[in-house]
Structure 1
Amino acid sequence: MSVRSNWVRTLGISCVLALAAGFLPPPSASAATTYHVSAATGSLTGNGTTTPFKTIGQCAAVMTGGDTCVIESGTYRETVTPTNSGTSTAPIRYEAAAGATVVVSGTEPLSGWSVYSGNIYSANFTGTLPGNENQLFIKNGTAVTQLWEARWPNINAYSLPELKNGVAVADAGAQNTITDAALVSTGVNWNGAKVWVRGGSAYVGMTSQLTSYNATAGAFTYSAITGDFDALYPKTGSTYFLSGKLEALDAPGEWYVDAAAQKVYLWAPGGGVPANVEIKKRKTAFNLNGKNYIQLAGIQTFAANITMNGSNNNVIDGVKAEYVYFSNYSQSTTNADQLNGGISIVGNDNVVKNSTIAYSSGALVNINGNNNRIVNNSIHDGAYMASYDPLLKLSSGTGNMISRNEMKNSGRYIIYWDVGVGEISYNDISNGMWLSRDGALIYAWGTDLGNSNIHHNLIHDSVHDTVPDDTRVGLYFDNFTENVVAHHNVIYNNDVGIQMNTPGNYKLIYNNTVVGNPVSSVAYWGDSTNAYKEELYGTRVFNNIFTNKVSLPADVVRGFNTITDEGINFWNPASGNFRLNANSTAVDMGSFIPGITDNSIGAAPDAGAYEYGGTDWTAGTSGTAPASYVPIATPYMNLVSNSGFEKNLQGWTPWTTSPSTATVTEGNVNAFANSDFRKRGVRTRLKLGAGGGVEQLVTGLAPNTKYKFVAWVYTDTGGQAINVGVLNYGGAAIDVSQSTANQYVRKEVEFTTGATDTSARVRIWRAAGATGTAYADDAGLFVMTDYDPGVYKNQALGKTTITASGALSFPERLTDDSTTAYSNMDNTGPQWVKIDLGRSYELDKINLLHYYTPTDVRTYHDVIVQLSNDSTFATKTTVFNNDANNSAAQGTGTDAEYAETAAGKDIAFAKTNARYIRLWTNGNTKYDTQHYTEVKAYGVPAVTPTTPRQGYKNVAFKLSDSRITFSKNVGNVFRITDGDKSGPFANQDGPVGGPSNPEWIQLDLGQKYRLDQVKVWHFIPFDRIYYDVIIQVSNDPAFPASATTTVFNNDADNTAGQGAGTDALYPDNANGKTVNFPLTTARYVRLWANGNQNNPSQHYAEVEVYGSPDYGMGT
């Protein structure tokens, strides 16, 4: 077989396998050419078609739009720089041949080793990267070991756990000095060495070079670090390590490079003569800078990166890029090389998919541009310097999508969202913050996220210390971050689940499951010197499961959250399965939120990230990522674009007021005027001079709907007013003004759109001739419509389980929300129709329409409406009855007859728990037959024993000891709620020799419940009578009289000072005492007693408290 025919056969196989692997197929083009490259058989003089090229660079030099480069197995030690770009219909494609392993490497083999000293060998080399970017490997086939520069303290592997533990601890420190007595014993002259130090608050690791070393004291000084400040200066307890000295080479895996002498020193793993050593010589595998429509498929890169600066519409598919960058230089919080050393994307509409990107001292992926997609990738192990350069950074742009990736193992952040708008969805994100504190798996600071959507992610396991603190967070919106929606995320095993620091506006936190975060489920912090330290204005927190502490400022609107793990009943939390079981208290506990809970099932949405009985979502590389970024739409979002002016004046129209001669230039409308922490505009703010102003047309508003426009404004000392207003909304223009000195004030304008108006213009402006300079920031426009959780509604709508006492035609018409057709029953005499709602509801209104036309107004006789949880109606509640002569034998009615109207009959009544509705009639003034046009039953899902799905249970079962407090010490306190009524009891001893005193115990249920029953067992065996027994419930742990409900009291003489009781004394026995009471919302239960007939002590064998989660708005 000829060589050429072998290539042809290989090309055919490669096409089949490439399609099977999911790589993009090459496009068809009339003049397209397929070139071939073979490291083994290619030639530097080949033409790539009849004879293969030897290097990929040969392909890159000649390929034009539509061409494909098929690459055979081999290691290609080169930087590939395409000469041309492809086009939208004819991209240029580089692909691995079928079954081929193609590696584009940044390294060169290093041989010629000779003994230097003991196990240390040396070899000569020529040409290398800057000293801080040196990198050596042992590469034996596919097995790779990264080696590391000689250092102290030693490590056993270059990995995050080893780097975390392989640090020294300073005895003392100052701005650029460290003292550590342990250094003395190293015997190394560290002068001139490199230091990596995590000083001060340990936010970040930074490097420098020692300028002096005192070997006697173990103290050194290093060069000042760019971007360093007092919060990061070393101090007692700061961690660090030293490297860059040949004398420190004392362990396997360590190397030292003498760049001046062009010599490498190495102690090989396992000792002996080093073999299979490679040293990094090139930083880049593919240089796609300035190129468009380039595709890479199935190729591996090693110790080299891929750059796309000024590049658009490129696709990286099925690429394995490992060891993309390394440098031991890291100053300030971020460094250009650390940030851009991996997969650098500066451009639009690029895609990285189905790939593995791993191992970097800095960022693995950095995005600057619009509509880029990072999907279905494994992205892991980076940020070894612990800088702000994370595994993935969103540096700028709109419409970027990060979806369906597995992202793990970082020295600091996994994702740092610096600037921009986009989507983070369906990712499995874990194990960040190995080498620093006060950061998160997903982090943003001081940025307008433009209603970005963070949803359906697993965000977990960022705890790496024995004792958790508040420094490793799952989802972190740091100070001055605004405009984001986070929903349906599962956040677990971090120190803190969600951190929202102040100020920071317009965050919508919905339907997240936040569990096992021991410090807090959700928390906030604000600088004590900041006037806005308690402000998260416009933030809403709904439908979440929080199992740990919840801390939010008072201005956060919240509701339908659970804040305890009691009764949640996850499937298997130990294995990370936080889906709900049927009897979870979170089922049907949520509220309806358009755009968030649209796919809920049952009577109401569930709280948390998973809907019981719904389609379970998954995160990670399996599954299909969304095709493109689609902005989310949900009520209460901020509708102002570029509200923080981070994009200069994009979205705003600048103007001046006549007759002012001022023009709108950077002089009087400047979105880049920095301000300090006392202000709001930390990154940017709007600056207005006389006659300056901006306005924005906001579309997509609802007609006849109330909205609010707000902005924070201030003027320089002595400056004249700045105005905030709205116009062109269907009404007269409204403006409010403010004159202040150096302090922002929130100004608000409320307006209602016209009957047909769906837009409004908002503006911030100053009058012509106004003195001084004025500023504005954080503009917002949002709907003011009262929140409707959607739980209270017509619960009969669409219910079709309808029976009757006779033949009923078209029963579905009773509940189809249509009044154009009716159902009839020809039977005469009193007849009934029964509707099964499918589960119990708390109903308070029935709307009943029999038959009506304007020309045929009838009055129906013996109308009776009954409710029950029993399908036989053996027990029932009659809420309406005008059967005055008891014709239906349901009791004599006292309600008046009424004539039918188009609106039907509204029958209102006290909340009644029922599943079934039975409706009676006995003909009408025209016929003896029965008719029904529509029946509506209004209420909310019931939370009572009749609906176990709603979590009605003993909500006090096995409370932790910390949740039980008392007026006097209690022995064996755990026994109060341990579920064992037969065993030993908890005791609260009275005074020796008496007399007794009233004492109490108090149970904290962890959150509000709707309670209706308490059971108490004191001392079962002897039928003792306990005195002054009082049971109270409250939402205030102090039980003030104004906020306390007493549900039982037999303290007839008011000994306890809680009011004279009228309940009877009773003997305590095995049945306990059951106290039933109307549904009452409460978190705390207090039980009083005053000794018993035998002694002055109180005893508690068991206390049970029955209820279900509260539907109220508060957490």
Structure 2
Amino acid sequence: MYKNILLIIILFFSIELINAKTIYVASDGNDSNNGSITNPYKTFQKAVSEMFAGDVCIIRGGVYTEPLIINKNGTSSNYITIKAADGETVEIKATNSVNGWQLHTGNIYKANVNMTIDKRFRAIYHNNEYMDLARWPNNTDNNRWTINSTPVTNGDGSHFVVNNVPNIDWTDGYVYYLGAHSGASWTRTITSSTSTTINHTGVNINQWPFNPHNPTVWRNYPNNNRGQLFLFNKLEALDYAREWYYDKANNMLYFQPADGIMPIDGTVEYAVNKFTLELKGDYIKIEGLNFFGGSAKIHNNADNNQILNCQIIHGSEGHDDLTNNSAQVGEAALEILGANTIVKGCTINHSSANGITVANWSGAHNTIIEGNYISNIDYLGIHSKPISSSANNVKVLKNTIINAGRDGMTVGGTGSEIAYNDVSNSQLINSDSGIFYTVGNANLKNIVLHHNWFHDATAPSYSHEVGNPGKAAGIYLDNNSKGYTVHHNVVWNVSWTGYQVNWNNTHLDFFHNTIWNAQNATGTWINGYTQENNKVYNNFSSTGDWFSEADASAFDIQSNLITAASPFENVNNQNFMPKEGSAVVNQAMTISGFTKPYKGSAPDIGAYEFGGTQWTAGINAIEDTGNALSIADIVIDKSLKLFPNPTNNSLNIKVTHAINKASINIYTLMGQLVKTVKIDNATSSELVVDVNNLSSGTYLLKIITDNTTRTSKFIKL
């Protein structure tokens, strides 16, 4: 009987494999075709309707405006796969083109458009660049990270007092407000206005987040005593380049281009669909597709799906919910509600809200977020993040994250791991936040945070008193965080504390971390709570002290070092490997129950071990094996910083020790090799790599010997 059952199972899967087919879609195809490579279908809907477990749909290069929606199931051994044709670029847009422009007045043009998308998510792009909804004050520097606001001088929960409001009727327009505390913003509908007063639909200033983010709260901050605001979404405010307004009653779009010239038909696009990709089934694999102007969503109960080597650009644009009472929104460029999801090798760039969300309420557990490049997230300045995960057993590995309005990432689900991520330039709008940030509860989270680089975060000057630090922490375990093991991380160039812990923190282990150039090593706000069972062992900091405000029994502090004298190879080039014989070498204690490979008579203090691995973080990170690399470290001396952009025409690469043969490969973020430089018998010297023929953008530089990648870094040209 059991043999018969086994035979039936084998036959079932054999039939499934035999019947698996390849279907083609092309922009010039026809749904009456047979879906072959020579007679492709035109629509995704037709292709998906013909697919079953094991089938592959290959999309030929081109631009598509149909959302990709998959409601079929694959199996664990036979995924449904939809991918771009090899070597071809597939762009799936959630936008339509605008045609038929005519002059309105001055440099403002108009065209008939029927925008059906929810008004929160209306967006206009000109030559693929995001445009501003008509506003005051204007976005004069064309920088979405500067608020370009006006100070609030007074007000309460239903009105603001400001100076020099333009003499137009702002009724039914919107007001964006960021309190002096600068922890979160909120947006409301304007009910009436004068030259000095903006009345709006109101908030409860006695409840979080409106307490303390409201104009009754006064702070001694530069030009920001009671917060700041801008007004938007009125035609009369359309008086500046790159602004637009939509009149729904007359289906009329108004737009002022940057050059003041009537737009060419097709160069202006407007948002049509909220989502460009929706996965509603199980065991689906999406590969190598580019999405523009709309989000991707993996629905609740759509499990075991994979998104690989895709791009999502301007995934979630728009303004805040006008009735938001939580300081955060659920929208993201990629929303993950299904369990066992893998997102790997993707690029996510530009989102008003979140980059990637992984939801706990839907059971999106056991998800892996690995090797992604995520940038320019949370232009709203609310509690949104490049990666925001509350699900359990989530792994966030080897991602590079740059430019965020508030936190660099939040991972708070039980049993999660955060490792080898390179996160920088967060807190561009908000304050009182962290490059890594989380909030706890009554439970031990059993979260491990290790081998990450958290760096270069300075809270805006308007968020703190002159002479006081801006509250941008490296690792911020906020209210009641419990059960975190934090080891082998490097925090550098932050304007506040390396570690910040608040309220009832218990069972926190800080082992073998390095903090360089922070305002203080650590900080805590106890606020009347109890802290206990916390350990701080074998950490290095260049400044500050270890939880001096806490009760002495709350933190067990042993074998750490604070000194301004660098014991490292080259901190200016972010080389935190210990120098031979320096003050950190062989000076750490062994920690019972914690495995730490070491080379000398005892472990080293800090995140790196002399003679051990010079591990790296971010995409293509080098993992810490405990052993040194077999070739010399190669240091990029110039054009390394991602923010602000350098303008060099060449890279100076220093070979610190002799090597026989190697190559320097420069790739696009999508993995395309664009330049190779060969190294033959190099000694301690500088090599100059010409990059004049490369267009501006971010590239991945890899050093390769014997077909093995030894180190990699990002460059921005």
Task: Please give the TM-score of this superposition, normalised by the length of structure 2.
Answer: 0.78
Tell me the distance in 2 between the aligned counterparts of 1:157 and 1:263. Answer: 27
Q: Secondary structure at the match of 2:531?
A: coil
Q: Secondary structure at the match of 1:402?
A: strand
Q: Secondary structure at the match of 2:19?
A: coil
Partner of 2:67: 79
Contact map agreement 1:367 1:394 (CA 8 A) in 2: yes
Correspondence for 2:316 among 325, 329, 342: 325
Contact map agreement 2:157 2:203 (CA 8 A) in 1: no
Question: Cα distance, 1:212 vs. partner?
Answer: 1.8
In 2 relative to 1, CA 364–625 (structure 1 residues): closer, same or farther, beyond 3 Å? farther
Partner of 1:481: 481
Question: Cα distance, 1:57 vs. partner?
Answer: 2.2
Question: Cα distance, 1:81 vs. partner?
Answer: 1.5
Are 1:424 and 2:418 an aligned pair?
yes
Question: Percent identity of the aligned residues?
Answer: 28
Tell me the distance in 2 between the aligned counterparts of 1:578 and 1:109. Answer: 51
In 2 relative to 1, CA 228–593 (structure 1 residues): closer, same or farther, beyond 3 Å? closer
Tell me the distance in 2 between the aligned counterparts of 1:449 and 1:76. Answer: 47
Q: Secondary structure at the match of 2:164?
A: helix
Partner of 2:632: none
Tell me the distance in 1 between the aligned counterparts of 2:91 and 2:302. Answer: 23
Tell me the distance in 2 between the aligned counterparts of 1:625 and 1:327. Answer: 39
Partner of 1:390: 385
Question: Cα distance, 1:624 vs. partner?
Answer: 7.1
Tell me the distance in 2 between the aligned counterparts of 1:406 and 1:610. Answer: 20
Are 1:588 and 2:597 an aligned pair?
no
Q: Secondary structure at the match of 2:68?
A: coil
Correspondence for 1:37 among 5, 25, 39: 25
Contact map agreement 1:375 1:625 (CA 8 A) in 2: no
Partner of 1:292: 282
In 2 relative to 1, CA 468–114 (structure 1 residues): closer, same or farther, beyond 3 Å? farther
Tell me the distance in 2 between the aligned counterparts of 1:414 and 1:158. Answer: 23
Contact map agreement 1:544 1:561 (CA 8 A) in 2: yes
Gap regions ≥5 residues in structure 1: 1-26, 627-1115
Partner of 2:656: none
Are 1:436 and 2:430 an aligned pair?
yes
Question: Cα distance, 1:597 vs. partner?
Answer: 4.8
Partner of 1:63: 51
CA offsets 1:623-662 (integer angstroms, 9 cap, x no match): 3789xxxxxxxxxxxxxxxxxxxxxxxxxxxxxxxxxxxx
Q: How does 1:191-230 map to 2 (within 5 A)?
A: 191-215=171-195, 218-225=196-203, 228-230=209-211
Tell me the distance in 1 between the aligned counterparts of 2:325 and 2:472. Answer: 17
Tell me the distance in 1 between the aligned counterparts of 2:394 and 2:211. Answer: 36
Tell me the distance in 2 between the aligned counterparts of 1:127 and 1:189. Answer: 24
Contact map agreement 1:308 1:345 (CA 8 A) in 2: yes
Partner of 1:146: 130
Contact map agreement 1:333 1:387 (CA 8 A) in 2: no
Contact map agreement 1:69 1:95 (CA 8 A) in 2: yes
Amino acid at match of 1:177: H
Contact map agreement 2:603 2:609 (CA 8 A) in 1: yes
Partner of 2:511: 510
CA offsets 1:192-216 (integer angstroms, 9 cap, x no match): 220110125221011001112122x
Tell me the distance in 2 between the aligned counterparts of 1:581 and 1:74. Answer: 53
Contact map agreement 1:77 1:106 (CA 8 A) in 2: yes
| Of 547-556 and 292-301, the range deviating more from structure 2 | 547-556
Contact map agreement 2:282 2:303 (CA 8 A) in 1: yes
Question: Cα distance, 1:451 vs. partner?
Answer: 1.5
In 2 relative to 1, CA 335–180 (structure 1 residues): closer, same or farther, beyond 3 Å? closer
Q: How does 1:199-278 map to 2 (within 5 A)?
A: 199-215=179-195, 218-225=196-203, 228-235=209-216, 236-275=225-264, 276-278=267-269
Q: How does 1:753-764 map to 2 (within 5 A)?
A: none
Question: Cα distance, 1:230 vs. partner?
Answer: 2.9
Correspondence for 2:407 among 404, 413, 418: 413
Amino acid at match of 2:535: R
Tell me the distance in 2 between the aligned counterparts of 1:576 and 1:172. Answer: 45
Contact map agreement 2:283 2:303 (CA 8 A) in 1: yes
Q: Secondary structure at the match of 1:342?
A: strand
Contact map agreement 2:394 2:416 (CA 8 A) in 1: yes
Q: Secondary structure at the match of 1:429?
A: strand
Gap regions ≥5 residues in structure 2: 1-14, 217-224, 462-466, 625-717
Are 1:540 and 2:528 an aligned pair?
no
Tell me the distance in 1 between the aligned counterparts of 2:253 and 2:432. Answer: 38
Are 1:48 and 2:35 an aligned pair?
yes
Question: Cα distance, 1:380 vs. partner?
Answer: 1.2
Correspondence for 2:98 among 102, 106, 110: 110
Q: How does 1:245-644 map to 2 (within 5 A)?
A: 245-275=234-264, 276-289=267-280, 291-309=281-299, 310-330=301-321, 332=324, 334=326, 338-368=329-359, 369-397=364-392, 399-447=393-441, 448=443, 450-465=445-460, 469-495=469-495, 496-518=497-519, 520-527=520-527, 530=528, 532=529, 535-552=530-547, 553=550, 554=552, 555-566=554-565, 568-594=566-592, 596-623=594-621
Question: Cα distance, 1:228 vs. partner?
Answer: 4.6
Contact map agreement 1:297 1:317 (CA 8 A) in 2: yes
In 2 relative to 1, CA 464–264 (structure 1 residues): closer, same or farther, beyond 3 Å? same
Question: Cα distance, 1:536 vs. partner?
Answer: 2.4
Q: How does 1:675-1074 map to 2 (within 5 A)?
A: none
CA offsets 1:485-506 (integer angstroms, 9 cap, x no match): 0000001111221101121110
Tell me the distance in 1 between the aligned counterparts of 2:593 and 2:398. Answer: 21
Q: Secondary structure at the match of 2:315?
A: strand
Tell me the distance in 2 between the aligned counterparts of 1:333 and 1:393. Answer: 19
In 2 relative to 1, CA 340–220 (structure 1 residues): closer, same or farther, beyond 3 Å? closer
Tell me the distance in 2 between the aligned counterparts of 1:355 and 1:277. Answer: 26
CA offsets 1:731-781 (integer angstroms, 9 cap, x no match): xxxxxxxxxxxxxxxxxxxxxxxxxxxxxxxxxxxxxxxxxxxxxxxxxxx
CA offsets 1:144-200 (integer angstroms, 9 cap, x no match): 31111011121146644333xx121112232232111132xx333323220110125
Q: Secondary structure at the match of 2:45?
A: helix
CA offsets 1:428-452 (integer angstroms, 9 cap, x no match): 0111111111111111113345221
Tell me the distance in 1 between the aligned counterparts of 2:326 and 2:444. Answer: 20
Contact map agreement 2:209 2:326 (CA 8 A) in 1: no
Tell me the distance in 2 between the aligned counterparts of 1:239 and 1:189. Answer: 20
RMSD, aligned α-carbons: 2.0
Amino acid at match of 2:133: E
Contact map agreement 1:444 1:478 (CA 8 A) in 2: yes
Contact map agreement 2:146 2:429 (CA 8 A) in 1: no
Tell me the distance in 1 between the aligned counterparts of 2:382 and 2:167. Answer: 30
State the aligned residue count: 579
Tell me the distance in 1 between the aligned counterparts of 2:233 and 2:623. Answer: 45
Tell me the distance in 2 between the aligned counterparts of 1:524 and 1:464. Answer: 18
Q: Secondary structure at the match of 1:230?
A: coil
CA offsets 1:1046-1101 (integer angstroms, 9 cap, x no match): xxxxxxxxxxxxxxxxxxxxxxxxxxxxxxxxxxxxxxxxxxxxxxxxxxxxxxxx
In 2 relative to 1, CA 540–37 (structure 1 residues): closer, same or farther, beyond 3 Å? same
Q: Secondary structure at the match of 2:46?
A: helix
Tell me the distance in 2 between the aligned counterparts of 1:45 and 1:339. Answer: 40
CA offsets 1:343-389 (integer angstroms, 9 cap, x no match): 11112111000110121111111112211000000011111111112
